[in-house]
Amino acid sequence: MSEGKIIKALSGFYYVLSGESIIQCRGRGVFRKKNVTPLVGDYVVFQSENETDGYIMEVKPRKNELIRPPIANIDQAILVFSAARPDFSSLLLDRFLAVIEANDITPVICITKMDLLSKEEKEKIDWYIDGYRSIGYEVFQLSAVTGDGLKQLDPLINGKISVLAGQSGVGKSSLLNSLHPSLEIKTADISDHLGRGKHTTRHVELLQIGGGLVADTPGFSSLEFPEMEAADLPFSFPEIQQYGENCKFRGCLHINEPGCMVKLAVESGEIRQYRYDHYQDFYYEIKNRKPRY
């Protein structure tokens, strides 16, 4: 028996990094019976007689996992959003942040395509960036074209397992190519008609970059909250959690309760209105979610 980490899952095969070798494995039938699906990022026990004919025997306990993208044991999520083409979406970014926070993963925000902005457009993006930094998030401004900001990511990635996530067309693959040119990951232009990118990444894979492992993931434009309860949502908004500690009622959800310090902080501008609006949107989405049986 040997141990390793799954770095790629494709067409029913799992590619396990063990030492300097990558072993192609299949999952044992026992996993299907137990409704366990090995994920990229899993630490596993496997057996093999050669590098193309292995079997995963055990999946080690996970410290965290995501459903979309399907990956486990993540140290940080690098959330890649474009300043333009497609336009920056604070709603989608806040949705990503809420899901990442709920899974106890450290989020890092990267705004790409800064070179495409006019002076006025940059001022608007800078306003958002200042807001996220005031909450405590790390925010990097990048351009894969000019190379601006890329060197800041090297120490961020070193020694960690990172997931690179964001909607299609924001420049995730271009960013990875800039960090590690030999990867030559396929990129695609934005469809001007649809205003969004064509999917260029078809599977999840951990790539060895800058002393760490980075997952390039299929692009997507929405995230749901299948496991989160409404009472958990405040913990996914750091500033709402902070002000909520002083609310009149324990368990205040910051919607209709009296003596809510969060709503007062919104009124005074200490919490930005758009963040609270998104919090409300997500709250009602969770409350109105159909139960799963």
Peptide bond before residue 291 is cis, with ω within 30 degrees of 0: no
The answer on whether 254 is annotated among ligand-binding residues is yes
The answer on whether 171 is annotated among ligand-binding residues is yes
CATH annotation of 71-216: 3.40.50.300
Taking residue 232's Cβ as centre, other Cβ atoms within 10 Å add up to: 14
The answer on whether 27 is annotated among ligand-binding residues is no
The answer on whether 197 is annotated among ligand-binding residues is no
Q: Would you say 97 and 107 are in contact if contact means Cβ atoms under 8 Å apart?
A: yes
> What is the Cα–Cα distance from 196 to 165, expressed in whole angstroms?
15
Which option is the CATH number for 233-288: 1.10.40.50, 1.20.1250.20, 3.30.420.40, 3.30.310.80?
Answer: 1.10.40.50
What string of pLDDT tens digits covers the 293 residues of the chain? 899 999 999 988 999 999 889 999 998 876 767 778 899 999 999 999 898 989 999 999 999 887 767 889 999 988 989 898 888 999 999 999 998 898 889 999 999 888 888 999 999 999 999 999 999 999 999 876 777 777 888 888 888 999 887 776 666 677 777 776 665 555 443 333 333 444 444 577 898 887 899 886 654 444 667 678 999 999 999 999 999 999 999 999 999 999 999 999 999 999 999 999 999 999 999 999 876 65
Three-state SS string across 73-108, please? CCCEEEEEEECCCCCCCHHHHHHHHHHHHHCCCEEE
The answer on whether 173 is annotated among ligand-binding residues is yes
Domain boundaries, the chain: 2-61, 71-216, 233-288
SS3 state of residue 247: coil
The answer on whether 25 is annotated among ligand-binding residues is no
The answer on whether 2 is annotated among ligand-binding residues is no
* Cα torsion angle, 159, 164, 170, 174, sign: positive
Q: What's the pLDDT at 185?
A: 52
CATH annotation of 2-61: 2.40.50.140
The answer on whether 170 is annotated among ligand-binding residues is yes
